[in-house]
Amino acid sequence: RIALVYFVVALIETLTTKRRPLVLSPGHLSIFTAYRWQWIGGFIAFSFYMITTYSLYIPDWSFINHKEGKAYTVKCGMRGHLGPACNAVGYVDREILGINHLYKSPAWQHLKACTLSSPRSGPFREDAPGWCHANFEPEGLLSSISAILSGTIGIHYGHVLMHFKGHSQRLKQWLSMAIGLLVLAFLLHFSHAIPINKQLYTISYVCLTAGAAGVVFSGFYILIDVWGLRTPFLFLEWIGMNSMLIFVLGAQGILAAFINGWYYNNPDKTLVSPMLFRKFSHISLENFQFPER
């Protein structure tokens, strides 16, 4: 997914270098018109994801759980559903990649409908629906198309840094974009129009993460570049220059194991309380919608 997003964004950036002005015209929106091709690319990705997600017909589907040696059938026959059973993201991956090539321990197996141990993993309930036993790819094909919009917003923050030299100008651009995205994300989520869901990489999730990143980035910019407090944050420079290494350490659980390896008096008193993770681990799972049938 990272490679795909970087490839698309970098390709548009490279091919449109000679088609954008070196000096921006006056106006708050001039940077958007100067980089209109990037935003057109992001809009195409957004449109493709939305049209496919809400218009693709999802038929009933069957699979064999080879671990259990049992066949399951999932009833769908609908469009535009965002539940774990009948969403377009899973359907596209099953049709193109094949269900046996998808992730075997998806997050939806932690739902209350699947296990009494929710939000943690545990044995399946006896009455668990068939989709609980199915594979699902959280970084699949369709959801990665949606992630291209995240890359477009991210490179916009970089364009602001290039073209605006004053602190106030940069912060005005970043924060206006970030706050606007956060407001849009919460409106979509709490109106139940498009819930925030990482598994499906919904547009509200894109807005939430991109907006939060803009706010945090602006905060660090104020502390380090405006106020000159660089020394306390030197470790973040190393993290930024080795971001892929940090990603691998986090994804494989190495970083978490190292942090939780330090404790006070007994192993239950680690540097990071496990209760904190338990409290927020199911936040994206609550936003799955279920079919009525």
Q: Is pLDDT above 50 for 260?
A: yes
Taking the C-alpha atoms of residue 34 and residue 184, their distance in angstroms, rounded to an integer, is 24
**Tokens at residue 262, please?**
């330090």
Mean pLDDT of 8-37: 89
CB 73 within 8 A of CB 187: no
Lowest mean pLDDT among 28-42, 101-115, 206-220, 273-287: 273-287
Residue 251, pLDDT above cutoff 60: yes
Structural domain boundaries in the chain: 236-286
Tell me how far apart the alpha carbons of residues 282 and 263 are, in angstroms, rounded to a whole number: 25
Instruction: Check whether 274 has a pLDDT greater than 60.
Output: no
pLDDT band at 273 (very low <50, low <70, confident <90, very high): low
**Is the peptide bond preceding residue 119 cis, with omega within 30 degrees of 0?**
yes
Give the pLDDT band of residue 282 (cuts 50, 70, 90).
very low
Q: Residue 157: what pLDDT?
A: 96
User: pLDDT at position 16, please?
Assistant: 92
Q: How is 87-151 classified by DSSP, letter by letter?
A: -HHHHHHHHHT-GGGS-SS-GGGGSTTTBTTTTS--PBPTT--GGGGS---TT-HHHHHHHHHHH
Distance CA 292, CA 92 (A): 22
The pLDDT-based confidence of 270 (bands split at 50, 70, 90) is confident
In the predicted model, is pLDDT for residue 18 greater than 80?
A: yes
The terminus-to-terminus CA distance of the chain in angstroms comes to 33
Are 40 and 182 a contacting pair, CB within 8 Å? no
Average pLDDT estimate for 116-129: 90
Mean pLDDT of 240-256: 86
- Interval 13-26 mean pLDDT: 86
Global pTM reads 0.84
Please write the tens of the pLDDT for every residue from 78-115: 999 999 999 999 999 999 999 999 999 999 899 999 99
Asked whether 270 and 260 are in contact (CB, 8 A), the reply is yes
Range in 21-35, 87-101, 162-176 the model is least confident about: 21-35
How would DSSP label each residue in 175-226? HHHHHHHHHHHHHHHHTTSS---TTTT-HHHHHHHHHHHHHHHHHHHIIIII
Q: For the residues 148-162, what does the mean pLDDT come to?
A: 95
DSSP, residue by residue, 140-163: -HHHHHHHHHHHHHHHHHHHHHHH
Q: Which of the two residues, 254 and 197, has the higher pLDDT score?
A: 197
pLDDT for the residue numbered 283 = 44
Task: Examine the pLDDT at 221 and tell me if it is beyond 80.
Answer: yes
d(CA 90, CA 82): 10
